[in-house]
Amino acid sequence: MSTIMKKEIFEEPQAMERCLKSNEATLDKLAETLKTSGITNVIVAARGTSDHAGIYGKYIIETILGIPVGLSACSTSTLYGSKLNYKNMLVIGISQSGAAADVLEIINDAKETGAITLTITNNLESPLAAAADFHLYCDAGHEASVAATKTFSTQLYLIAELVARWAGRNDILKKLEAVPRGVAQILLQDAAIAQIATRYRFMEEAFILSRGINYPLALEATLKIQETNYVRAKAYPISDFHHGPFAMVSEGMPVFMYMSDGPVKNDAMVMIEKLQNVGADLFMVSDDDSLLAQGDLGFKIPETDKEDMIASFYFATFAQLFAANLAEVKGRNPDAPRGLKKITVTK
């Protein structure tokens, strides 16, 4: 492989299968605990890529389980000294390294006030792994590239598995079984994605759009090209992009839309028409031929049977490969972006 980042992306199918085997017993025990514990709310504490995995969790927990999910404002505790009451809640801390000091403080506060606590890390020896009632281990292997790839995909996979078991949704569990094979299909198209990246070699700014369950994938796709290519990109849900931000779109502006054949398809078509009318350079990532036909260019992901939560995995893989290939075209080093370190500890 040309870069460590790309090598680690190609490890994702095996990492997903491995993380499921490693956590099967914990997932079942946690799901059974949650079913009988009267959880009224869920709080997620995370930063960066892990935060995007947490937002994915928010959407699927609210959609499938009907339980409200909030995203922790860690600084209210770590900087302002507030003490929140987490009774009757599940509090989830997500960190690839397990070294996030602010997330650890939220987990400790949650335990003190009677919450069930869960952490998801790629480090069994980390403070966060030891702090919670339950720990899910990404088991993705060492991730050397600064840009998180296989750890993000395994985080998504563990969250989806937990939600499906908690809800007793064997239909979703069956669909999740096929995800590693679907990711492998996208990896086989790396050369085609590299050719797409060549088309965008002079791109310095872009918008990335989605909505609903896949909005956090737009956030993650944006972060990947920001940190590996220094492109000034911004993600929006299409529902917000209709408002003030749309005024920034000019003729030829690259706009990437991650949109599957699911509940938000009709909203996507309305936005597509507006973007076409102003001459945006529209790139579609979708499993739906009618959506793909609307773009100036596109990439087809595996069929998702109208399951947005399954499309998320394929969007992640495409976004990661696109960023890695674009960096190669631009002469960047995605393994060591300027000004960044692999582990960033915030308080």
**Domains in the chain, start-ordered, CATH in brackets?**
4-177 (3.40.50.10490), 186-330 (3.40.50.10490)
Other C-beta atoms closer than 10 Å to the C-beta of 248 total 11
Query: In the chain, what percentage of residues exceed pLDDT 70?
Result: 97
Question: pLDDT tens digits, residue range 44-76?
Answer: 999 999 999 999 999 999 999 999 999 998 888
Q: What average pLDDT does the structure give for the chain?
A: 94
Residue 97 has pLDDT above 60, yes or no: yes
SS3 category, 302 = coil
Question: pLDDT tens digits, residue range 320-331?
Answer: 999 999 999 999
**253-277 average pLDDT score:** 94
Reduced DSSP (H G I as helix, E B as strand, rest coil) percent helix, strand, coil of the chain, to 5: 50, 15, 35
∠ Cα 139 134 82 (to 5°): 115
Note the residue count of the chain: 347
